[in-house]
Amino acid sequence: MEGEGVKIRYVHRSYNSQAMCWEFLLVFIMPLIFWVVPPVFAASFDCSKAATEMEKTVCSDSKLSALDEDLTKVYGEIKKHLKDEENLLKEFTKSQREWLAGLKQKKDGNIACTASKECLTISYQKRIKELQTKRDLLLKKASSAGEKIRRIRTGPGYQKFILTKGKGVEVCEAYLNRLNKTWFEKLPFCDRPENTDVPGFEKLNRVALTAEEIYPIEYRIRDFIYTGNQYIHDKSDEMRPENKEKVIFFIKQGLELQSLGAYRYDPRIDFDNDQKPDNLLVWKESRFSCGSIHEEYGLFPELGMIIALILEPDSLSVDEKKTKTLIGHPIGGYPKPDGKGFFDNRFRPVGDSMGIFRFKGATYFDTFFDTWGDFEGKRRKDPNIWRTLGAFKREKGQTKQVCEYVWEIPYEQENQK
């Protein structure tokens, strides 16, 4: 491990640089490509096989995992910039190895830093900031030739979608009309709001969960999504009764910052159109408020994730079989480059920006695709796959895609150089 990171926490959308113009590559692709698909060391690491003390510590904490992703991302960006400057690249990779070696020597009281979540968190944050500064200097140098820098408009407004599959199909045409008539408070991959202005659509009643309601299922949901085993944290310190208030406090912070959220439907929805209501929960999570821009992390809006899950009747755990059957990607996982098996046991949904709607008595769900491809696992190199929205219907034991749309990116005109 050369310092790129030690764990993939989740796979988000990314982009294929080869088919893009340099302007888009510079501003959006380079700040994200290595975050989404980390370099080989991180990508091949399986937390179930964590061997070193540091690997085990990072794998045991979702926040450290997120920081590890950030470090992987910015480290990869810099290596990409320096690929044609051999000496500078060697110096940079050497400095990263030295940073890692320093962590092994560092202490947090009587505990090694590599075994301390607090020490690793501080060390990661400091190192990420150092690398971001270096990356930004390289970006400024690259943009000095006069390329235009374009920013996505992130404020409230109407959005524009184009129907690319399903033309003439009633639900597809109606949903296109609804998308284009909806007022979005945030960018579309953050949420597709309820809207019954177009005839045929039902009003679905979303009920947000409180911090107290999220507490008993938070770790089970995250562990199911990130590791495939929802019971990892059941006996952890976080779930001890004496730590309950502390955990709830942090959940409340996430709710206030809009980096965490969950809602159910009341009344419940028949998700798979079998005439039986399902115990459905929609889980929302991001580093920052979805759609916001933090320039220290690049100029692309925060993507986050929105995943629908089926819960057990007591709502205290994920119904894994039903969730995988109804919402899981048909391929089953994230395939390795050689095509032999998957990276690990993480749950792979059809997409990680899901929404649900009902039209003329039937339930549909939609999602933006990620760079792992579309519903068939194809188009992994399509530069527009991240802004491609598919609509699906689960019926008679099968999930079928019925519509597809492309979102037109709204740019801010004044931010061109």
Q: What share of the chain is helix, strand, coil (3-state, %, to 5)?
A: 40, 20, 40
345-390, pLDDT tens digit by residue?
A: 788 999 999 999 999 999 999 999 988 899 998 998 888 899 999 9
User: What is the pLDDT, as a whole number, of residue 142?
Assistant: 62
User: What percent of the chain has a predicted confidence (pLDDT) above 70?
Assistant: 83
**pLDDT of residue 130 exceeding 60:** yes
Alpha-carbon distance values, 173 to 208, 285, 356 (Å)? 30, 30, 16
Measured distance CA(351)–CA(327) in Å, rounded: 9
Measured distance CA(365)–CA(343) in Å, rounded: 27
**pLDDT of residue 236 exceeding 60:** yes
User: What is the pLDDT, as a whole number, of residue 295?
Assistant: 65
**pLDDT of residue 217 exceeding 90:** yes
How many residues are listed for the chain in this entry? 417
- Better pLDDT: 327 or 133: 327
Measured distance CA(201)–CA(176) in Å, rounded: 12
User: What is the pLDDT, as a whole number, of residue 108?
Assistant: 66
- Better pLDDT: 397 or 88: 397
User: What percent of the chain has a predicted confidence (pLDDT) above 90?
Assistant: 45
- The CA angle 397-269-402, to the nearest 5 degrees, is 50
- Better pLDDT: 28 or 58: 58
DSSP bridge pairs for 38: none
Alpha-carbon distance values, 216 to 226, 242, 279, 323 (Å)? 17, 14, 16, 19
**pLDDT of residue 119 exceeding 90:** no
Which residues touch 408 (CB under 8 Å, ≥6 apart)?
159, 160, 161, 162
- Better pLDDT: 242 or 417: 242
Q: Which H or E run contains 263?
A: strand 260-265
Mean pLDDT, range 205-228, rounded to an integer: 93
**pLDDT of residue 416 exceeding 80:** no
User: What is the pLDDT, as a whole number, of residue 125?
Assistant: 83
Q: State the pLDDT confidence band at 149, using cuts at 50, 70 and 90.
A: low
Measured distance CA(225)–CA(99) in Å, rounded: 31
